[in-house]
């Protein structure tokens, strides 16, 4: 993590500010922090140890610019060759690249990083984040000073700046709208966007988006097999980059294609070195019910993979006794957010804690696989219709339409996503767009508060579709994914890494792999009715057939009813306490949440509005309320 406190007039920070600012970088974790003062600027960064912290300085480019760097580089060897440097420190490599290539450095450098650049004597700061995914950066500024840091709480170490909740962010997030990327969780605090370069001066901020998924070039190869070979090579390349510098890796391993693909690539890259696979499984006593589209226990799928690879050791984690609120205060402190997928946090924390306890020094993930090599082809049908590839469209629809007519299949699969919103809603039976009542099954907002905060119109203006309609093209599907909830990943993943003291790496988010996968034709993903066709060809012989041929998805937190049922009485009491707080009662539809919880039994059938409300809306409502009270310094009880 990094931080900068700069007085525009060049006044030197006093010792009290230096102490507060540097100590805030180490709150909640046992880590050394180095700092340096220069021309009214206070630079700070986490360091490997006290010795490094004592002599720490920001990297300095040949042009004199001082650079703070947070994150990692996947192509450090290439940069060293191009820059004719033997520098090992990524900050130094980035500084040299900035001096050589200026703004183009953020495209020449491949990895996940965030940077702050200050040139002595100039009243401006340059800030940037890498494309696709990056560590977070938060900014507070006025005409006297600018403060930039990896977490928003560090900003409040400055004099006279108090944390206040951004009410609009709260409302938008409970509406699942994360499209306003620069809006932070605190009033007056802005976030730097993914793939953006920002110049900050005493007069304000100017942001430029230098990376756009929609503008990526098409990739065309001669034969189908060439796409498979290229994707496999890039996945292995990304996996090797993710493992660079680590000795004892673990992987968050499921029964799905993505993490199993990463595990297979990691085993290849590691050679004789071991890989620990950790799998979250339901707690004993869960209902054991599998649905046509989902299965709850992925143990058998993981065991089948382990049988193929002697160096892969697997272990299941049931997170017994934990629930969605496990380590929530730590997440508030270290991530500075109200987590979105709250009901999954218990097993994620338990898995990371186990990796650390087993002595692992990195945790591999496969979170971006659905948007890279294992994309399912969503948006291909309307894309073919718009591009005039009607023969391909008809061929694919004939493969799946069953007893439906071809005309009906074209209308529902290809034409429907292209229709105007009003027509689409009438066709699908959705309420008209003028209905601003929050969706009853997943949104905990009070209707009056939702109208007051204008969440419906903001969602529409920002391109957030609460009807979750099919995308207009495959590229639009990927762009929406990286522009939506994935924008929150930087803060959440940073918080998890810090809490458990183990970094995470995702080879499926390796930029060359993602760009290749976005650029190739849709028929590489959807062929003769078979979705995820690229991944299934890539992984044939590398993962078990039962996984390769699986059409269901793993059901995360399949045991949620046990966990919420165990805390039901306490949660009802908490809802009653929140109802006595006028501000909370204004934000949340507490009577509806309480009625659903009070009338619910863990044995109730899934899929009803009340059950969905408890499973999806209740944990987010509670977590958000606790986050607000954490920031405000009040207690729930």
3-state secondary structure of 218: coil
pLDDT at res. 485: 62
Contact 579, 585 (CB under 8 A): yes
Give the helix/strand (H/E) hosting 107: helix 105-108
Q: Give me the pLDDT at residue 433, please.
A: 61
Let me know: does 38 contact 71? Beta carbons within 8 Å.
no
Round to whole Å and give the CA distance between 590 and 618.
9
pTM above 0.85, yes or no: yes
Residue 423 to residue 467: CA distance in whole angstroms: 13
pLDDT at site 602: 84
Partners of residue 7 on adjacent β-strands: 145
Residue 4 pLDDT? 96
Residue 455 CA to residue 49 CA, distance in Å, equals: 46
Instruction: Report the distance separating Cα 132 and Cα 44, nearest Å.
Output: 26
Output the CA–CA distances (angstroms, integers) from residue 168 to 39, 180, 189, 454, in the order listed: 37, 10, 13, 9
Sorted by sequence, the CB contacts under 8 Å of residue 518 that are 6+ apart come out as: 213, 216, 372, 475, 478
> Which residues of the chain carry a pLDDT beneath 70?
432-436, 484-485, 634-637
For residue 119, the model assigns a pLDDT of 87
Q: Which pLDDT value is given to residue 635?
A: 56
Q: Say what the pLDDT of residue 402 is.
A: 84
């Amino acid at each position: 993590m990094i931080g900068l406190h700069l007085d525009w007039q060049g006044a030197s920070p006093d010792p009290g500010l230096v102490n507060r600012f540097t100590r805030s970088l180490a709150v909640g974790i046992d880590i050394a922090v180095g700092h340096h003062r220069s021309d009214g600027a206070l630079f700070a960064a986490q360091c490997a140890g006290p010795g490094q912290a004592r002599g720490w300085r920001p990297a300095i480019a040949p042009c004199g610019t001082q650079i703070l760097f947070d994150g990692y580089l996947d192509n450090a060897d290439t940069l060293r060759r191009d820059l004719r440097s033997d520098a090992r420190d990524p900050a130094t490599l980035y500084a040299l690249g900035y001096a050589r290539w200026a703004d183009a450095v953020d495209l020449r450098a491949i990895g996940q990083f965030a940077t702050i650049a200050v040139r002595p004597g100039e009243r401006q700061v340059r800030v940037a984040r890498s494309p696709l995914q990056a560590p977070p950066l938060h900014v507070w500024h006025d005409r006297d000073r600018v403060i930039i840091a990896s977490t928003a709480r560090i900003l409040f170490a400055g004099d006279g700046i108090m944390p206040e909740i951004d009410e609009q962010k709260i409302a938008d997030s409970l509406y699942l709208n994360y499209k306003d990327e620069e809006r932070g969780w605190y009033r007056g605090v802005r976030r730097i966007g993914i793939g953006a370069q920002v110049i900050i001066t005493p007069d304000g901020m100017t942001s430029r988006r230098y990376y756009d998924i929609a503008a990526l070039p098409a990739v065309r190869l001669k034969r189908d097999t060439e796409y498979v070979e290229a994707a496999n090579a890039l996945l292995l390349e990304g996996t090797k980059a993710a493992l660079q510098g680590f000795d004892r890796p673990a992987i968050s391993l499921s029964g799905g294609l993505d993490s199993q693909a990463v595990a297979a690539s990691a085993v290849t890259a590691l050679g004789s070195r071991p890989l620990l696979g950790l799998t979250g499984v339901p707690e004993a006593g869960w209902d054991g019910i599998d649905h046509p589209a989902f299965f709850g226990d992925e143990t058998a799928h993981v065991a089948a993979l382990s049988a193929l690879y002697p160096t892969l050791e697997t272990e299941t984690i049931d997170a017994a006794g934990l629930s969605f609120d496990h380590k929530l205060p730590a997440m508030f402190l270290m991530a500075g957010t109200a987590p979105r997928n709250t009901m999954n946090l218990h097993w994620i924390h338990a898995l990371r804690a186990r990796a650390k306890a087993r002595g692992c020094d990195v945790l591999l993930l496969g979170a971006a696989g659905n948007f890279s090599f294992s994309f399912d082809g969503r948006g291909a049908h309307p894309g073919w219709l718009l591009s005039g590839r009607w023969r391909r469209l008809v061929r694919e629809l004939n493969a799946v339409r069953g007893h439906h007519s071809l005309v009906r299949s074209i209308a529902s699969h290809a034409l429907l996503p292209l229709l105007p919103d009003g027509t689409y809603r009438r066709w699908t039976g959705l309420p008209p767009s003028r209905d601003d009542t929050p969706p009853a099954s997943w949104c905990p907002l009070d209707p009056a508060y939702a109208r007051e905060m204008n969440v419906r119109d903001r969602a529409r203006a920002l391109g957030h579709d609460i009807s979750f309609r099919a995308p207009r093209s495959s590229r639009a599907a990927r762009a929406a994914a990286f522009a939506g909830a994935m924008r929150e990943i930087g803060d959440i993943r940073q918080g998890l890494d810090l809490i458990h003291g183990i970094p995470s790496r995702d080879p499926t988010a390796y930029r060359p792999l993602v760009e290749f996968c976005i650029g190739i034709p849709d028929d590489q993903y959807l062929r003769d009715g078979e979705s995820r066709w690229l991944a299934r060809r890539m992984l044939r012989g590398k993962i078990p057939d039962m996984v390769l041929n699986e059409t269901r998805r793993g059901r995360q937190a399949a045991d949620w009813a046990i966990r919420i049922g165990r805390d039901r009485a306490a949660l009802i009491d908490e809802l009653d306490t929140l109802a006595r707080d006028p501000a909370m009662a204004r934000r949340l539809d507490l009577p509806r949440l309480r009625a659903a919880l009070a009338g619910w039994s863990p044995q109730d059938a899934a899929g009803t509005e009340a059950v969905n409300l408890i499973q999806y809306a209740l944990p987010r409502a509670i977590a958000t309320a606790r986050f607000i009270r954490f920031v405000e310094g009040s207690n729930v009880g």
